[in-house]
Protein backbone atom coordinates (compact mmCIF):
# COMPACT_ATOMS: atom_id res chain seq x y z
CA UNK A 1 0.00 0.00 0.00
CA UNK A 2 2.82 2.40 0.89
CA UNK A 3 4.63 1.58 -2.36
CA UNK A 4 1.49 2.34 -4.35
CA UNK A 5 1.12 5.69 -2.56
CA UNK A 6 4.72 6.65 -3.39
CA UNK A 7 4.15 5.78 -7.07
CA UNK A 8 0.98 7.92 -7.16
CA UNK A 9 2.79 10.93 -5.61
CA UNK A 10 5.76 10.65 -8.00
CA UNK A 11 3.50 10.35 -11.04
CA UNK A 12 1.52 13.36 -9.86
CA UNK A 13 4.67 15.45 -9.58
CA UNK A 14 5.79 14.45 -13.05
CA UNK A 15 2.38 15.23 -14.53
CA UNK A 16 1.88 18.67 -13.00
CA UNK A 17 5.52 19.83 -12.78
CA UNK A 18 8.02 17.63 -14.68
CA UNK A 19 11.01 19.53 -13.30
CA UNK A 20 9.87 19.23 -9.67
CA UNK A 21 11.99 16.13 -9.02
CA UNK A 22 15.12 17.61 -10.58
CA UNK A 23 15.33 21.05 -9.01
CA UNK A 24 18.54 21.68 -7.11
CA UNK A 25 18.25 23.36 -3.73
CA UNK A 26 19.94 26.77 -3.86
CA UNK A 27 20.55 28.31 -0.42
CA UNK A 28 21.18 31.73 -1.99
CA UNK A 29 17.65 32.06 -3.37
CA UNK A 30 15.90 34.54 -1.08
CA UNK A 31 12.93 32.31 -0.20
CA UNK A 32 15.46 29.85 1.20
CA UNK A 33 16.77 32.63 3.47
CA UNK A 34 13.49 33.80 4.97
CA UNK A 35 14.72 32.76 8.41
CA UNK A 36 16.88 35.91 8.24
CA UNK A 37 13.76 38.10 8.22
CA UNK A 38 13.01 39.56 11.65
CA UNK A 39 9.36 39.73 12.70
CA UNK A 40 7.69 43.00 13.75
CA UNK A 41 8.24 42.25 17.45
CA UNK A 42 11.81 41.08 17.01
CA UNK A 43 14.99 43.10 17.35
CA UNK A 44 17.35 43.49 14.41
CA UNK A 45 21.00 42.82 15.24
CA UNK A 46 23.35 45.80 15.00
CA UNK A 47 26.19 45.87 12.47
CA UNK A 48 29.51 44.47 13.65
CA UNK A 49 32.57 46.71 14.01
CA UNK A 50 33.76 46.47 10.39
CA UNK A 51 30.33 47.03 8.85
CA UNK A 52 28.75 50.42 7.99
CA UNK A 53 26.90 52.05 10.87
CA UNK A 54 23.26 53.02 10.50
CA UNK A 55 22.85 56.18 12.60
CA UNK A 56 20.21 57.98 10.54
CA UNK A 57 17.59 57.39 7.86
CA UNK A 58 19.29 56.71 4.53
CA UNK A 59 17.75 56.11 1.12
CA UNK A 60 18.30 55.90 -2.61
CA UNK A 61 16.31 55.76 -5.83
CA UNK A 62 17.76 54.05 -8.87
CA UNK A 63 17.00 52.08 -12.04
CA UNK A 64 16.77 48.31 -12.09
CA UNK A 65 18.39 46.44 -14.98
CA UNK A 66 17.73 43.15 -16.75
CA UNK A 67 19.86 42.02 -19.70
CA UNK A 68 20.83 45.58 -20.53
CA UNK A 69 17.29 46.94 -20.33
CA UNK A 70 16.06 49.50 -17.81
CA UNK A 71 13.19 47.91 -15.90
CA UNK A 72 11.60 50.45 -13.62
CA UNK A 73 12.87 52.20 -10.52
CA UNK A 74 13.45 50.97 -7.00
CA UNK A 75 13.20 53.10 -3.86
CA UNK A 76 15.22 51.74 -0.95
CA UNK A 77 15.09 53.06 2.62
CA UNK A 78 17.27 51.93 5.55
CA UNK A 79 16.31 52.95 9.07
CA UNK A 80 18.65 53.41 12.08
CA UNK A 81 17.08 50.35 13.74
CA UNK A 82 18.16 48.14 10.83
CA UNK A 83 14.71 47.88 9.29
CA UNK A 84 14.32 48.23 5.51
CA UNK A 85 11.42 49.12 3.27
CA UNK A 86 10.94 50.21 -0.29
CA UNK A 87 9.11 49.80 -3.53
CA UNK A 88 9.45 49.13 -7.24
CA UNK A 89 7.53 50.94 -9.97
CA UNK A 90 7.57 51.69 -13.68
CA UNK A 91 6.54 50.62 -17.14
CA UNK A 92 8.99 48.80 -19.41
CA UNK A 93 9.49 46.09 -22.03
CA UNK A 94 11.32 43.01 -20.69
CA UNK A 95 11.19 41.72 -24.28
CA UNK A 96 10.38 43.35 -27.61
CA UNK A 97 6.78 42.09 -27.69
CA UNK A 98 5.97 42.23 -23.95
CA UNK A 99 5.05 45.28 -21.89
CA UNK A 100 5.08 45.34 -18.08
CA UNK A 101 3.29 47.94 -15.99
CA UNK A 102 4.14 47.58 -12.30
CA UNK A 103 0.91 48.46 -10.50
CA UNK A 104 2.19 47.74 -7.02
CA UNK A 105 5.38 46.28 -5.54
CA UNK A 106 6.39 46.97 -1.95
CA UNK A 107 8.76 45.19 0.39
CA UNK A 108 9.94 45.23 4.01
CA UNK A 109 12.85 43.55 5.73
CA UNK A 110 16.03 44.09 7.66
CA UNK A 111 19.80 43.93 7.71
CA UNK A 112 21.51 40.72 8.83
CA UNK A 113 25.09 41.31 10.05
CA UNK A 114 25.65 37.57 10.61
CA UNK A 115 25.89 36.81 6.88
CA UNK A 116 29.45 37.31 5.65
CA UNK A 117 30.17 38.35 2.08
CA UNK A 118 32.51 36.12 0.09
CA UNK A 119 33.62 35.74 -3.52
CA UNK A 120 36.59 34.28 -5.40
CA UNK A 121 38.87 36.75 -3.60
CA UNK A 122 37.76 35.57 -0.16
CA UNK A 123 35.66 37.04 2.64
CA UNK A 124 34.85 40.70 3.16
CA UNK A 125 33.44 41.33 6.64
CA UNK A 126 32.93 45.05 5.96
CA UNK A 127 29.85 44.47 3.79
CA UNK A 128 26.40 44.42 5.37
CA UNK A 129 23.74 42.03 4.06
CA UNK A 130 20.03 42.87 3.82
CA UNK A 131 16.90 40.95 2.87
CA UNK A 132 13.30 42.07 2.33
CA UNK A 133 10.06 40.57 1.10
CA UNK A 134 6.71 41.84 -0.16
CA UNK A 135 4.07 41.48 -2.85
CA UNK A 136 3.88 42.62 -6.46
CA UNK A 137 1.20 43.14 -9.09
CA UNK A 138 2.11 43.55 -12.76
CA UNK A 139 -0.17 44.04 -15.76
CA UNK A 140 1.46 42.19 -18.66
CA UNK A 141 0.53 42.99 -22.26
CA UNK A 142 1.52 40.69 -25.11
CA UNK A 143 1.63 43.06 -28.08
CA UNK A 144 1.70 40.23 -30.67
CA UNK A 145 -1.18 38.21 -29.30
CA UNK A 146 -3.01 41.25 -27.92
CA UNK A 147 -3.39 39.47 -24.59
CA UNK A 148 -3.51 41.25 -21.23
CA UNK A 149 -3.10 39.44 -17.93
CA UNK A 150 -2.28 40.14 -14.30
CA UNK A 151 0.82 38.63 -12.74
CA UNK A 152 1.14 38.66 -8.98
CA UNK A 153 3.24 36.99 -6.33
CA UNK A 154 6.19 37.60 -4.03
CA UNK A 155 8.95 40.16 -4.43
CA UNK A 156 12.32 39.67 -2.71
CA UNK A 157 15.10 42.24 -2.41
CA UNK A 158 18.57 41.26 -1.22
CA UNK A 159 22.04 42.74 -1.42
CA UNK A 160 25.00 44.33 0.30
CA UNK A 161 25.93 47.75 1.71
CA UNK A 162 29.65 48.51 1.72
CA UNK A 163 31.69 50.78 3.99
CA UNK A 164 31.07 53.76 1.68
CA UNK A 165 27.31 53.12 1.76
CA UNK A 166 27.29 51.91 -1.82
CA UNK A 167 24.60 49.30 -2.39
CA UNK A 168 24.46 46.42 -4.85
CA UNK A 169 21.15 44.64 -4.91
CA UNK A 170 18.95 42.05 -6.58
CA UNK A 171 15.19 42.23 -6.97
CA UNK A 172 13.44 38.92 -7.67
CA UNK A 173 9.79 38.37 -8.49
CA UNK A 174 8.16 34.94 -8.41
CA UNK A 175 4.65 33.53 -8.44
CA UNK A 176 5.56 29.95 -7.55
CA UNK A 177 9.12 29.91 -6.09
CA UNK A 178 10.17 27.67 -8.98
CA UNK A 179 10.54 30.22 -11.76
CA UNK A 180 11.54 33.84 -11.23
CA UNK A 181 12.77 37.02 -12.88
CA UNK A 182 15.80 38.84 -11.50
CA UNK A 183 16.58 42.55 -11.76
CA UNK A 184 19.89 44.11 -10.69
CA UNK A 185 20.36 47.57 -9.20
CA UNK A 186 22.98 49.66 -7.49
CA UNK A 187 23.38 53.09 -5.96
CA UNK A 188 24.65 55.02 -2.97
CA UNK A 189 22.68 55.72 0.18
CA UNK A 190 22.31 59.32 1.24
CA UNK A 191 21.00 60.74 4.53
CA UNK A 192 17.70 61.78 3.05
CA UNK A 193 14.34 60.23 3.85
CA UNK A 194 12.19 59.82 0.73
CA UNK A 195 8.42 59.91 0.88
CA UNK A 196 7.20 56.34 0.55
CA UNK A 197 3.81 54.79 1.26
CA UNK A 198 4.42 51.06 1.67
CA UNK A 199 0.81 50.38 2.66
CA UNK A 200 -0.48 51.73 -0.64
CA UNK A 201 1.75 49.41 -2.65
CA UNK A 202 0.76 46.41 -0.57
CA UNK A 203 -2.94 47.16 -1.00
CA UNK A 204 -2.44 47.47 -4.76
CA UNK A 205 -0.63 44.14 -4.90
CA UNK A 206 -3.60 42.38 -3.32
CA UNK A 207 -6.15 43.50 -5.94
* Interval 140-198: pLDDT, tens: 999 888 899 999 999 999 999 999 999 999 999 999 999 999 999 999 999 976 655 55
Any alpha helices (H) in the chain, and if so which ranges? 2-16, 198-205
Length of the chain counted residue by residue: 207
Neighbours of 160 (CB within 10 A): 19
* Interval 26-80: pLDDT, tens: 999 999 999 999 999 999 999 999 999 999 999 999 999 998 899 999 999 999 9
The b-or-e profile of 134-157 (16+ CB within 10 A means b, else e) is bbbbbeebeeeeeeeeeebebbbb
Domains, in order of start, for the chain: 26-205 (2.40.160)
Amino acid sequence: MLTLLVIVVVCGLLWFEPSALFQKYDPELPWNQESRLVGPKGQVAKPIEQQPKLEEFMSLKTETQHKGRECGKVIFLVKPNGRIEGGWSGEFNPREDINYMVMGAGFKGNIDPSKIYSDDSGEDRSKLFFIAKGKFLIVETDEKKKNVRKALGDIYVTGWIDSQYKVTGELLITSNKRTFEKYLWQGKLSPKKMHFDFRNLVSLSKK
